[in-house]
Amino acid sequence: MGRAVTTLYAVSPTHRPDARVRAVRVTTERIEVETDDEVILDVCLDGRRVWSFWVFRDGTPDPDAGCQTIAWPTALDRHLDGTTEVSVVAHVAGTELFREELRFGTGEGRVQVVDAEGKPLGIDKSGRLAQTFDTRSAEHVAPLLDAVEEVLAALGRAGVEAFPAYGTLLGAVREGRLIGHDSDADLGYVSHHTHPVDVVRESFRLQRALADDGYVISRYSGAAFKVDVREGDGSVRGLDVFGGFLLDGHLCLMGEIRTPFRREWIFPLGTTTLEGRTLPAPADTDRFLTATYGPSWRVPDPAYQFETPETTHRRLNGWFRGTRVHRAEWDRTWSGPRLGEPDTTPSDFARWVWERESARGEPPAHVLDVGCGRGVDAFWYAGQGAHAVGLDFVPRAARYLAARAEAEGLPADYRSFNLLELRSVLGEGARAARLPGRRVVTARHVAEATDGVGRRNLWRFADMASRGGGDLYLEVLVRRGAGESRRRDHLRPLPLDLVVAEVEARGGRVLHREILTAPSEDGSPQAGPDASPRVRRIGRMVVTWER
């Protein structure tokens, strides 16, 4: 199936119900629309909306056919196998423009856009498949609404005046209910602090307060985090908490807003109603929603995309998002069907580490696997008898093996770890330094998956964790092979001399260094000279810190 091509289009959609669409044609490869107006169209499969788009913004022109073409989104690829009735509806006018039975792929049954448990999915505002609110019953979302009230109260006790924000506020003010095409709930607050550092410190304090109340928290940035909420059918949905502040006459709110604003348009808070519940709201919801979605916020738009100015991106990134470099890439990597049962065959690197350590006469007591991913190597180390600790930027990737290790009684722990967050590095480093016995730190394709700050913190962590006896084992992509994608595995090749210089600057001493060339027929890297500039090269190192 083809991939959607997104083009920048400066004209907002036409919200007039009389916006004219001359023709719509649908094939298994694409949707063709003849119109002169930028309109929002809904795509329904067997009568259920699963996707919406703007014709010009999300399409590409086909001059020969005299139309805009929109490819089916790749997120739907694995579901489009079978027969379904496709209908296309003008979102504002409600006019049906196309309806026809189509067959995709070779499947014999009806197309089912559902998750592994059979729950209906739709494409959300981020272009991902999710359980949108229009597929949920009131009973199912009641725990989320309860959590909204509870978290608002907890934030109030912690000292900030929070309120529903973004789509949650939009749905409350415009419709009095959750927006059907939305998939999560958002809260916001405007700090009384005016310096980004103080806003960050306050956000972490709020996170600790909510964690003390028993909530499971994951952090997005220095001023935003997510609270996990379990719905009535067991689904886990995120409740996002976005921090903001006023500076130089502008409202800055994670993660999309920086706009001229006055304090009196926010405080004192007023109220709004969401699903029959009275909740706090900014004093002037019209101005607040205009700042968020523009002057057309009253018109529903399931295909809305934020077009945040680059100046706002730069400010918010510099102030708050240093801890999220490449996070979106890894979130996508460890989402969807990839999170099934993993192959538990350890990497060749893990076997190499264990062979070298065993040759010392006694295997290590602890192995700390930084960037553990699915947790396979850490699981294997635990099976060899070591206490294994899997540390990763996206901890959900290792959930399956974490549960399996617990069920089998293996000594493996999996924890969240962020090389771009100093408190995470220092906290885990101090914890590791207190472990009895020899400690080994492993980092397979981590140094080239982060930035310079992340690498410096990796050396710092290894230094701390190996105190009292232990080494750091590294595997680094030095050069890609011929024909390899530059974005393969999100790795950015590093010269081994640069890695050596960095660890030595941190006080480390290189005990072993080698270059491995292209994999052999059995899949293992081969050591030896490399005369060809087109061969994949991987470097391995063992580093110690002497005291």
Give me the pLDDT at residue 321, please. Answer: 81
Q: How far apart are CA 451 and CA 538, in angstroms?
A: 18
The C-alpha torsion from 397 through 401 and 406 to 407, rounded to 10°, is: 130
Residue 7 reports pLDDT greater than 80: no
The SS3 assignment for 290 reads helix
The C-alpha torsion from 447 through 451 and 452 to 457, rounded to 10°, is: -60
Residue 13 reports pLDDT greater than 90: no
- Quickly state the pLDDT bin for 20 (edges 50, 70, 90): confident
- Quickly state the pLDDT bin for 118 (edges 50, 70, 90): confident
Q: What is the mean pLDDT of residues 197-201?
A: 96
CATH of 333-544, one of 2.60.40.1180, 3.10.105.10, 3.40.50.300, 3.40.50.150: 3.40.50.150
What are residue 158's phi and psi, to 5 degrees?
Answer: -85, -5
CA proximity to 510, closest of 456, 476, 472: 472
Q: How far apart are CA 123 and CA 4, in angstroms?
A: 13
Chain length of the chain: 547
Give pTM, 2 decimals: 0.67
Give me the pLDDT at residue 10, please. Answer: 35
Give me the pLDDT at residue 142, please. Answer: 85
Of 7-21, 118-132, 199-213, give the lowest mean pLDDT range. Answer: 7-21
Q: How far apart are CA 354 and CA 525, in angstroms?
A: 16
* The token pair that represents 430 in the structure block: 């101090």
The residue that leads in pLDDT, 201 or 327, is 201
Give me the pLDDT at residue 234, please. Answer: 67
Question: In the sheet that 40-45 helps form, which strands lie side by side, from edge to edge?
Answer: 48-54, 40-45, 82-90, 96-104
- Quickly state the pLDDT bin for 35 (edges 50, 70, 90): very high
Model pLDDT for residues 134-191, shown as the tens digit of each residue: 777 777 788 889 989 999 999 999 999 999 999 999 999 999 998 887 778 899 999 9
Residue 2 reports pLDDT greater than 50: no
Residue spans of the domains in the chain: they are 21-113, 133-324, 333-544
Model pLDDT for residues 491-515, shown as the tens digit of each residue: 889 999 999 999 999 999 999 999 9
What percentage of the chain exceeds 90 in pLDDT? 59
Q: Is the dihedral of CA 282, 286, 289, 291 positive or negative?
A: negative
CA proximity to 30, closest of 51, 11, 8: 51
Q: What is the mean pLDDT of residues 9-27?
A: 68
Q: What is the mean pLDDT of residues 401-425?
A: 92
CA proximity to 424, closest of 202, 219, 205: 219
Residue 379 reports pLDDT greater than 90: yes
Question: CATH for 21-113?
Answer: 2.60.40
Model pLDDT for residues 319-343, shown as the tens digit of each residue: 888 666 666 677 777 765 556 788 8
Give me the pLDDT at residue 409, please. Answer: 95
Residues 75/128, Cβ–Cβ less than 8 Å: yes
Residue 6 reports pLDDT greater than 50: no
Residue 370 reports pLDDT greater than 90: yes
Give me the pLDDT at residue 313, please. Answer: 84
What are residue 478's phi and psi, to 5 degrees?
Answer: -95, -40
The SS3 assignment for 102 reads strand
CA proximity to 78, closest of 434, 293, 338: 338
Question: CATH for 133-324?
Answer: 3.30.460.10
The residue that leads in pLDDT, 293 or 485, is 293
Give me the pLDDT at residue 5, please. Answer: 30
Residue 219 reports pLDDT greater than 50: yes
DSSP letter for 444, please. E
The SS3 assignment for 454 reads helix
> What DSSP assignment string belongs to 310-333?
HHHHHHHHHHH-GGGTTHHHHHHH
Residue 532 reports pLDDT greater than 80: no
